Structure 1
Amino acid sequence: MVPARRRGLADEVADRIRDAIFDGGYALGSPLREVELAEALGVSRGPVREALLKLEREGLVRSEWHRGTTVTALSDEDAAELGSLRAALDGLAVGLVVDRAPEEALAAIDAVVRRMERATGEHEMVRCDLDFHDAVYAAAGHRRLREAWQAIRSQVHLFLLTRIGAATDGYLASIPAEHRELAAALRARDRETALALFAEHRRQAFDVLSGRTD
């Protein structure tokens, strides 16, 4: 058997790098150099290397022999694939929430909407957006569905960062209202309306990326 290794430090380093990416400290496509990261975090290169491998599995960074490691910049194909997969996952989640979500799960969704209404910056709003969908998938009560969402969550976060990088006009004002409508449809157990609103929510973000804002 391979000897056990202490992975706590690598996990902590991964958390720090992930947070820096999500807070805008590292722009999409920017390089991540092991030596610089190790010095900044006060650790050796070993935990940094392990952390970058973990983040690569999440889809947050990409490693190429001639370029080193960079923060993932989503291509049009990446965005399209994420969108189609989210559509499938959202469809199942919405149906399960409408059919069987308990009151406390719906209340948790409503609570995230109230947090969104108090958000003061784009990055905080993006985190609230992800938290909203976390709450929806939790309310679905389907473990494997929730795990499937978690597997792409970091990449969806990158997608939302790409979206605010493309345009921020009206973003802080419009996103809470969108999510209030989503939450209201789920609470009303209105499957058809909820599915339509979730689809429109995804479409609007893609339209911003493609320059279609009308």
Structure 2
Amino acid sequence: MGSALPKAALPKAARRGLADEAADLVREAILAGLFPPGAPLREVELATHLGISRGSVRQGLAELEHEGLIRTGWHRATTVIEVRTEDVEEVYALRAALDRLAATTARRSAGTADFAELDRLVDAMDTECRATADSRRLVALDIAFHDQIYAAAGNGRLTTAWHAIRSQIHLFQLRRVESGYDHYRARVVDEHRELAALLRDGDVRTLARKAEEHVDSARRSLLAGLPNASPTSP
């Protein structure tokens, strides 16, 4: 039986290994603070530094633009996103809805290994707070905790939605810590430990409320550190 597809109906599969690697390396550099919010990302310089073609860099940057981590446009410089009030409000409103659904879904589907990993991450946060208190390491553990909740929920489309805003959340959380580290450090362990306990055997309504409150607390704390922003806006 012949093919149902006409000739040339599908393009050849692209080899995107280097583009993915470029995206990963630039993303890591942004989250490490090497390219702060608003910093330009020059294609030629990145290609030279990474030792790959401009085409691979261009594809990698397109991936980061899709994640919302950078902004670009026609006849416009490519830059790391700024942490603006309107962006924070939009992203955290979406995150609150996603986190609520992820938590309540994980409450029904999570297993022993999931709970053990959540406990391990909270313990690592506690250790970090008591030891070197590396703010970037602490935020990375925070993001990993929420990654685990989405993984435990077992909903592929929900996880895809999380990953669409994950890089922005990570950058915004770093900005939050930068403007109010003591406040973050004082709350991060207890808030995540409470979520872990509720996920294990808590009331679903209480879990849903606490998941949203956790996000709203982060939103208000971040906005309090931005100029001309109201941390109490809904």
Q: How high is the TM-score relative to the length of structure 1? A: 0.91
Relative to 1, partners in 2 of residues 1:103 and 1:4: Cα closer, same or farther, differing over 3 Å?
closer
Q: Which position in structure 1 is the counterpart of 2:3?
A: none
Contact 2:85–2:223 (8 Å) recurs in 1: no
Deviations 1:72-121 (A, max 9, x none): 11322221111221122122122212223222222222121122223331
Contact 1:122–1:171 (8 Å) recurs in 2: no
Contact 1:99–1:189 (8 Å) recurs in 2: no
Relative to 1, partners in 2 of residues 1:166 and 1:66: Cα closer, same or farther, differing over 3 Å?
farther
Q: Which position in structure 2 is the counterpart of 1:169?
A: 182
**Deviation of the 1:184 alpha carbon:** 1.2
Q: Which position in structure 1 is the counterpart of 2:98?
A: 89
Residue identity matched to 1:93: A
**Deviation of the 1:3 alpha carbon:** 4.1
Contact 2:100–2:212 (8 Å) recurs in 1: no
Residue identity matched to 1:133: H
Matched, 1:208 2:208: no
Match for residue 139 of structure 1 among 152, 158, 162: 152
Deviations 1:145-170 (A, max 9, x none): 12211222112112212212332224
Distance 1:109 1:125 in 2: 14
**Deviation of the 1:176 alpha carbon:** 1.6
Residue identity matched to 2:52: V
| More displaced 10-residue stretch of structure 1: 63-72 or 11-20 | 63-72
Distance 1:8 1:98 in 2: 36
Q: Which position in structure 1 is the counterpart of 2:204?
A: 191
Residue identity matched to 2:147: D
Distance 2:43 2:109 in 1: 47
Q: Which position in structure 1 is the counterpart of 2:124?
A: 115
The Cα RMSD (Å) is 1.9
Residue identity matched to 2:136: H
Question: Which structure has the greater CA radius of gyration?
Answer: 2
State the secondary structure of the residue aligned to 1:6.
coil
Distance 1:62 1:135 in 2: 28
Consecutive unaligned residues in structure 2, runs of 5 or more: 1-7, 225-230
Correspondence list, 1:1-214, <5 A:
1=8, 2-119=11-128, 120-211=133-224, 212=231
Consecutive unaligned residues in structure 1, runs of 5 or more: none
Distance 1:5 1:156 in 2: 30
Residue identity matched to 1:11: D
| More displaced 10-residue stretch of structure 1: 7-16 or 193-202 | 193-202
Q: How high is the TM-score relative to the length of structure 2? A: 0.83
Contact 1:167–1:208 (8 Å) recurs in 2: yes
Contact 1:115–1:128 (8 Å) recurs in 2: yes
Contact 1:121–1:172 (8 Å) recurs in 2: no
